[in-house]
Amino acid sequence: MQDPTTPMAATEAAVAQPTPAWRKSARRGLLRLVAAALTLPVAIVLTIVVHPLWSWLERSTGIESMGREGPAAWCYLTVWGLLALARVVPALWRAARGAGSHPTSDA
């Protein structure tokens, strides 16, 4: 058994404790996951609401988008993907602008 005052034991104790930065990252990741999950019902409703768009697309292009039960599965996935993209792009844009605005050191 190690003496708790040794540097190795202190390092192990520090590693075992979650840091505030880790908690903040975990919370942010969880919120993003919840936001992505909440876009599913919105995507389903929106896909059904734009029923005329899918009918027009099928008539004009011949791409199978409407079935007897409603829009095809790819229609739901397309709408959900666009909603998810709409959630991700602003965050990526802010991150890219934030990373580019910091002065770099030439030292």
Distance CA 52, CA 50 (A): 5
Strand partners, 70: 67
pTM (2 decimals)? 0.63
DSSP 66: E
Q: What is the pLDDT along the chain (107 residues), one digit of tens a residue?
A: 555 555 555 555 555 566 778 888 888 888 888 888 888 999 999 999 999 999 999 999 999 999 888 999 999 999 999 998 888 888 888 888 877 655 555 54
Which residues is 66 bridged to in the sheet?
A: 71
* pLDDT given at position 13: 55
Alpha carbon 3 to chain centroid distance? 45
